[in-house]
Structure formats: C-alpha cells, structure tokens
Amino acid sequence: MKQLRFGLFENAQANDSGTATWRHPDNRRDQFDTLAYWRDIARMSEEADFDFVFLADAWGWADVNGQRPEICSVEGLDLPRLDPTIVGAAMVAETDRLGVVMTGSILLEQPYAFARRMASLDQLSGGRIGWNVVTTGTAETAVQAFGVPMVPHDERYRMADDFMQVVYKLWEGAWEPGALERDKQGRFADPTKVHRIAHDGPYFRSHGYGNTAYTPQGTPVLFQAGASPAGRAFGGRHGECMFVGSGSAEQLGEHSRAIRAEAAASGRSADDVKVMSAFACVVGRTIEDARRKYERVLDSQDPGVAVASYAWFTGLDLSSYAPETPMTELHTELSQTQVARFAGQTVGDVLKDWHAHGVGARPVIGTPEDVADVICDLADRADLDGFLLSPVIQPGSTLDFIEHVLPILRERGVASPGGDEGTLRERLMGKGSPTLGDRHPAAAARPAVSAA
Ligand SMILES: Cc1cc2nc3c(=O)[nH]c(=O)nc-3n(C[C@H](O)[C@H](O)[C@H](O)COP(=O)(O)O)c2cc1C
C-alpha cells in the first residue's frame, strides 16, 4: 500500500463544520483568536509530522429568513472569525517544515491582490503554502456584505476558471525563476526576465507587472473540494490535491475515480491529482470508552445549532418543513452537495445527522487499532492518497490520533516515519517537483524561456 499523507483540519473560529462543541472542557478552540493557540497548533502539527495544517474559511453568516438567529452568537457558530492568511503567517513563523493551506474565495477576493498575498507567504515560508480554491457555498450573505451581485452556482466555477488565469499569469508568467540577482556590483533583477501580463476575461481584467518575483513553488499547491459536476470538472482541470468529504469506501471510491477521470479528460495524468478524504475519529481504550467519549461531545452541543447551521450552508430552513419531507424535494443555489448527499432521507434524518457532525466527517468510534484499520481499508478500497484529520474537539482528538493511531500507521508502513523536508508540493507529490508540471494549465502562462 502507498504511503499516505496527513493534514490537520483547522478553522480560525470557535467552532467548525456547522457544529458547536466549544463548550466541551477539553476543547481549546474558544481561544482561536489568540496567538498562543496557533503557536501550539503549529508546533504540535510539526512535531507530529503532519504534512500540513489546513485552514478552512467561510464568508457570510448563518441566515434564517433574513435574520441571523440568536443561537449563532450564543454558540459562536459562524462568527467571529479571523483571516486565515494572517493565522497562516503566524504558523509559518512558528515552524520550519509544516505546510500551511489556506482557503481563499474566487467570488470575493480580487485576483491581483490575492496573488500577492499568497506569493508573499510562499516566499517567506520557503514554499510551504497551499491554496484551497473555493467558490463560496455560503455566498448569499457574503455577497450582501461585499455589495457584489450574487453569482449562481455553476457560473461561480466559470468565474473561478477566469480567476485562475489571472493568478497563473502573475505567479508563473510575470517573473521568471532566477530573475532576482541581488548583485550589489551589478543589478538587483534581470529586466529581460520581468514581463507584463495581460488578461481580459469574462469576469476579471489585469494588465501590467506582477508585484512578487517567482516564489519557491511558483503557484502554491492547489487544493479543491468541489463535489458537484461543475466542481469536480473544475477540480480535474486545476486541482492538485482534492478533498472529498467522508463516506463509505464505495462513495469515496466513486468520487475519487470521477476526479481522476476529470483530470485525465483535461489532458493531465490521473495521478497528477492526489485525493484526500476528510476523516474524524474518537479513540478510546475500548469501544465502550470511545462511545462514552463521543456521547460527551454530543451532549456539549445545543440541538438548535443544527437548524441555523444547515441554513447557513444551504439557505434552507429545515424547521419550516415537516420532518418526514423527502430531501429530494429541496433545491438550493448554495452548496448543492449538502442537499444531494441526503437523497433518500428526510428532513428529520438530516437534522439528526447534522447535530452529530454538521458538514464534517462522521467520526469513526473505536480503539486505536479499529481506527487504523478503517484508515487502511478506506485508502485501499477507495484509492485515496491521504486523510485530512478533522478533530471532533481540539486539541484533544488530535492528540489522541497522534499518540495512539499514528504510531500504528507508522508501524504498518502506511504513514511516513517523519522528518520529511522540502516544499509542500514535494511532500505531497514526491521529490523533485517544487513547481507545477508541464501538463498543468498554469504552465501555459509561463513565458518562453529568455535567452541566457
Ligand atoms: C474537507 C473539505 C473542506 C472544505 N473546506 C471549505 C472551506 O474552507 N470553505 C468553503 O467555502 N468550502 C469548503 N468546502 C466545500 C467545498 O469547497 C465546496 O464549496 C462544496 O463542496 C460545495 O461545492 P459544490 O457545490 O461544487 O459541491 C470543503 C469541503 C471539504 C470536503
């Protein structure tokens, strides 16, 4: 079996994934707005040899019929939050090898400014940065806040294609590798290696020179998690590392095959895309012990959170439907995945499921061996390249995974023994590839190599 890669899911908020477990005594996420919290997470992740910490992000807030329900403030559900690129910078400063992957929205960011922010981080970190490209499922309230028009679901992916063309031109085409000479007797930069970019797309225009020189990775490692047909096609064109939600081996296998087929259809190799599944676990000495632990997590949550949180992701107020309503009767322009994945179930089923784990992975409950077995089995049967550990409580669940599960995976040879070095792309894709390969569409933005 191949060696799996591991990332740690984080979010610069008191809660994540549409749940609210911040009241649990072992959860430190209520301290998400302190530097001490992020320093500890960064150090813990580097010492454990996670390949990266992933910082999720959302814009907007939970909205039920035009109002942000009071429970959102009471439980710290959707707000407040910090900017993931600032938190990411703090983690980069605290570490030497850890990758940091940040979520950025093509709907709400401006490509020219965003390209500079990501390139600055890639430069300062020595090539340890990834970007999770999102079209923003929670767009309805976010566009109000930004004062921009709502863009329908599939069109947001066309907008994303256009956004990518601008940032590729800036990251890959504006400055050639080796343009900076820093020669005090000669020149700082070679003017023949600095180029004007020009982009006139359907959504974005940009003309002129890029702010940042070529960084260690050129383009940060591109993460993506779209699950709708438009989302998968976009991921197949651009994504290097695709997140899939949790599910059975059959569901994950189908999703992983579809993503690799999309990559191949775009002229890339099926193996150019790494597929990582969201994964959560509650580990105990015995299965009963693990179950009791999970009960305590569920008891720490107010059941009212589920209605507000489902509405935030989908715009749908489930409390206004009879519990026996089939989910197939509902439609959204927000996250379609969060409606489609409940086909065959009722509104009542969804509220129960959402209370347990929201949009996040359904936790595997068991002993360390049980959890390691599930990881190996899923990876094998669904052809996965790695897992994104989503802690049920933080850092409690992560420490349990590090102390009890990771050593078993290492012993079985399916997790790296540790000490991996290099850029984030090299850690994930293999040595010798700090920048994107020629098959990736970003390569088309590179200038013809200047004469020496
Ligand atoms: C592991 C994982 C992490 C995700 N993180 C984010 C995130 O931080 N922000 C966000 O807006 N969407 C996030 N998503 C959601 C997807 O990016 C995507 O928006 C969602 O699947 C809806 O798109 P779709 O309609 O194409 O499926 C995540 C999904 C997964 C599986």
Mean confidence (pLDDT) of the chain: 94
Regarding the beta carbon of 16 and ligand 1, being less than 6 Å apart is answered no
What is the best residue among 243, 251, 389 to mutate for testing ligand 1's pocket, by most ligand atoms within 8 Å of CB? 243
CA 359 to chain centroid: 13
- CATH code: domain of residue 27: 3.20.20.30
Regarding the beta carbon of 225 and ligand 1, being less than 6 Å apart is answered yes
Of 70, 67, 65, 77, nearest in space to 30 by CA = 77
Is position 223 within any domain?
Answer: yes
pLDDT class of 451 with cuts at 50, 70, 90: very low
- Is 112 marked within a binding site? no
What is the best residue among 85, 109, 132, 389 to mutate for testing ligand 1's pocket, by most ligand atoms within 8 Å of CB? 132
- Is 57 marked within a binding site? yes
Is position 302 within any domain?
Answer: no
d(CA 134, ligand 1 centre) in Å: 7
> Which residues have CB under 8 Å from 135's CB, separation 6+?
105, 106, 107, 153, 156, 157, 159, 160, 226, 231
Rounded to the nearest 5 percent, the helix, strand and coil shares of the chain are 45, 15, 40
Q: For the chain, give me the number of helices (H) and strands (E)?
A: 16, 12
* pLDDT tens column, 8-62: 999 999 999 989 999 999 999 999 999 999 999 999 999 999 999 999 999 999 8
Q: Which residue CA neighbors atom 11 of ligand 1 most closely?
A: 136
The pair of structure tokens assigned to 180 is 């900076």
Regarding the beta carbon of 120 and ligand 1, being less than 6 Å apart is answered no
Is-contact 434 425, C-beta < 8 A?
Answer: yes
> Which residues have CB under 8 Å from 47's CB, separation 6+?
none
Ranges assigned E (strand) in 57-209: 99-105, 129-134, 196-200, 205-209
* pLDDT tens column, 319-355: 999 999 999 998 876 677 788 889 999 999 999 999 9
How many structural domains compose the chain?
1
d(CA 430, ligand 1 centre) in Å: 25
Regarding the beta carbon of 57 and ligand 1, being less than 6 Å apart is answered yes
d(CA 225, ligand 1 centre) in Å: 5
Regarding the beta carbon of 388 and ligand 1, being less than 6 Å apart is answered yes
Does the pLDDT of residue 452 top 70, yes or no?
Answer: no
* pLDDT tens column, 90-121: 999 999 999 999 999 999 999 999 999 999 99
What is the best residue among 53, 78, 134, 333 to mutate for testing ligand 1's pocket, by most ligand atoms within 8 Å of CB? 134
* pLDDT tens column, 211-247: 999 999 999 999 999 888 999 999 999 999 999 987 8
Is position 120 within any domain?
Answer: yes
How far is Cα 105 from Cα 59, in angstroms, rounded to an integer?
9
How far is Cα 56 from Cα 388, in angstroms, rounded to an integer?
12
Atom of ligand 1 nearest to the CA of 244: 31
Atom of ligand 1 nearest to the CA of 230: 26
Greatest C-alpha distance within the chain: 77
Is position 307 within any domain?
Answer: no
Q: Which residues pair with 102 in a beta bridge?
A: 55, 131
Region 363-368 average pLDDT:
98
Is-contact 424 434, C-beta < 8 A?
Answer: no
- Residue 216 is part of which domain span? 5-280+382-445
Of 258, 281, 296, 241, nearest in space to 99 by CA = 241
- Is 416 marked within a binding site? no
Of 275, 241, 244, nearest in space to 440 by CA = 241
Q: Which residue CA neighbors atom 18 of ligand 1 most closely?
A: 226
d(CA 57, ligand 1 centre) in Å: 9
Is-contact 213 173, C-beta < 8 A?
Answer: no
Is position 301 within any domain?
Answer: no
Is position 99 within any domain?
Answer: yes
Regarding the beta carbon of 277 and ligand 1, being less than 6 Å apart is answered no
Region 268-276 average pLDDT:
94
Is position 313 within any domain?
Answer: no
pLDDT class of 450 with cuts at 50, 70, 90: very low
- Count of other CB atoms within 10 angstroms of residue 325: 15
Is position 305 within any domain?
Answer: no
d(CA 195, ligand 1 centre) in Å: 35
CA 419 to chain centroid: 23
